[in-house]
Structure 1
């Protein structure tokens, strides 16, 4: 029995049908997907949010997740950041000839389990197999569709006086991938924070708190989010360095390699800009959720030149530079 991918699995014929039936439909089964039409027809109403993303993480299996779980979480979290309830996903697999079918099955099972746990339906997909050496196991391209239930969230809406909150420790995913890739071992194992955030975000939105912007800090981490907001809204940020939650093992890895934890990706965290009068209630709600127990106020937006300043433990300020160069490719 063939236990690895062949180019024939991407030829559109019997081999393709076999892998669709025995693997993809087995774990991603949905009445709409199972029709195998050229396009999925889905019911939608109201304002719709659409996002698309590609996942090339290396290695494809890591502590806390894999590329299949990551693809669902990354897609869902982008929708959640716009106040949209995730509803549908489409996925495209670019597979390398010779990839283990057992590994592929693990990835697809993980994707299916994560999507079902959220009530997200995978309604369309595609599979391509490329010759050995022209990819790296598996790449996944996804599109997510959600219904906007909390309109008005935007990186352009951050205001002078807004309080900046993170929902948990930062840099966990980036540090985990870096440690795995470089073969670094620690007494306390680093683990990715990869997780879907809609349930936590929905709990906030139902309470009617005033949130102006949300963003999941993936590539470029917290620094990238704050710099993007500064440019979009024309504000500056002052972040209290001691208030930013960072795990000791992440901090230690960064010090060892000369990196900033603020530049490392997260895959299960959200950054929020909230009205000052809502900040205390937002923290209270977040900390009641399992994914928000380490939520913290880290800083404030203010008028001024678009920039990000870190207030150090000594009361001085330093610029937090935006991510530049090849910090850590293929992090997600």
Structure 2
């Protein structure tokens, strides 16, 4: 519980401070093992701090609100709202001069230094794995390493950031770190630095955990999405999912499926390709994560400015059988959820060589589609017929709560206008401060 947020909302509603203090103390006693007297003192201190920061006019301290919440807009839910927000972030950053920057909407960023490409990527742990720290650490580390590999880079180090709320057990940090370093040690990539903090300091009570893991890698040849070309084929490896599938399995009671996600198949496949002489012939690679193929193919088509055509039947055969069974029984779209497969884009002769290479190492893969000239769009071949293959507002709902939230529709076009205004305000503020600091 965010006690500061509770106090701010209550004051904004015009409630008396003493009433807020009393109610807030009730909440604190319910969550924390403290006396009523201490809870009242805690609540009074919260009110003092909130009132002290209530009427701020300084340009640095204020921001123009959009009136659209993260949940309403689907930020972090790997759908159209999330992709739109990320493109706004890219506008605020502007032209960074990076070899591959945020405007490319790729898996990682790339700069050149010392004659090599330096690749950096970061992934946040799955928010629903807070009570399963080892699983959270394992999957987020695997995710950031994937994003490094698919840029054609060899990972050289990991960094971690872990936040646990005030009442969380310290052991969460240790179990999470064990998950991170399990993947790191098995892939030969050391965890070298990081940060450990409480979520919201004293202002957030409860035991929620969140965090991220990042990777730095080096490359001689990069495989950015924008390099896809007409005539290319798309090769995809089998995927058993990561944090998303593990979360689905946990909260729907398919606990045996969680074990299917504990593997390093993707990383081994990528490593095999990087060590081969085929890497220089590969145009682009990605991992099937952001809203599943629906999200990734949509973004790739947009970035490359080409038509991407996907064969649904072939894709279905590349989802781990146990995972696929679970998704079908729960009526979750396999094309709209992260399955953590490796997707490789190259000329037909290169694709066939990569497929043969992977097959020789026991890694299953199939050609699932092709790239064509034409309108920049994703297309799905279903039962022999072409149909639209666009991402939904959110990725496929994969927990009971997500299925409930998914039903709550909002006016997306109106929200976009409000978000546009907030992004524009941030760009203008950035320009004002830069001008001030360079006078």
TM-score by length of 1: 0.74
1:48 to 118, 139, 142: 118
Whichever structure has more helix as a proportion of its residues is: 2
Q: Match for residue 127 of structure 1?
A: 196
User: Secondary structure of the equivalent of 1:156?
Assistant: helix
Indicate yes or no: 2:341 matched with 1:272.
no
User: Secondary structure of the equivalent of 2:260?
Assistant: coil
Q: What do the CA deviations read for 1:137-158 (whole angstroms, capped 9, x no partner)?
A: 3212233211113x13111111
Contact 1:175 1:253 in 2 (8 A): no
Q: Match for residue 307 of structure 2?
A: 236
User: Secondary structure of the equivalent of 1:178?
Assistant: helix
Q: What do the CA deviations read for 1:187-207 (whole angstroms, capped 9, x no partner)?
A: 877732663744422321333
Indicate yes or no: 2:162 matched with 1:80.
no
Does 230-239 or 320-329 show the bigger shift?
320-329
Structure 1 regions of 5+ residues with no counterpart? 1-5, 7-42
Give me the whole-angstrom Cα distance separating, in 2, the residues matched to 1:114 and 1:190: 15
Structure 2 regions of 5+ residues with no counterpart? 1-32, 34-112, 403-439
2:359 to 281, 287, 290: 287
Contact 1:250 1:261 in 2 (8 A): no
TM-score by length of 2: 0.57
Q: What do the CA deviations read for 1:74-127 (whole angstroms, capped 9, x no partner)?
A: 111111111111111221111122323344322212212221222212222111
Q: Match for residue 322 of structure 1?
A: 391
Q: Match for residue 310 of structure 1?
A: 380
Q: Match for residue 214 of structure 1?
A: 285
Contact 1:89 1:143 in 2 (8 A): yes
User: Secondary structure of the equivalent of 2:120?
Assistant: strand
Does 75-84 or 108-117 show the bigger shift?
108-117
Cα pair distance change 1:101/1:196, threshold 3 Å: farther
Cα pair distance change 1:213/1:326, threshold 3 Å: closer
Cα pair distance change 1:265/1:50, threshold 3 Å: same
**Cα offset for 1:326?**
5.9
Whichever structure has more strand as a proportion of its residues is: 1
Q: Match for residue 250 of structure 2?
A: 180
Give me the whole-angstrom Cα distance separating, in 2, the residues matched to 1:110 and 1:84: 23
Give me the whole-angstrom Cα distance separating, in 2, the residues matched to 1:47 and 1:89: 17
Q: Match for residue 58 of structure 1?
A: 128
Cα pair distance change 1:227/1:54, threshold 3 Å: same
Indicate yes or no: 2:209 matched with 1:138.
yes
Give me the whole-angstrom Cα distance separating, in 2, the residues matched to 1:208 and 1:308: 30
Contact 2:292 2:339 in 1 (8 A): yes
User: Secondary structure of the equivalent of 1:66?
Assistant: helix
Q: Match for residue 22 of structure 1?
A: none
Contact 1:230 1:306 in 2 (8 A): yes
Cα pair distance change 1:174/1:289, threshold 3 Å: farther
User: How many residues align structurally?
Assistant: 283
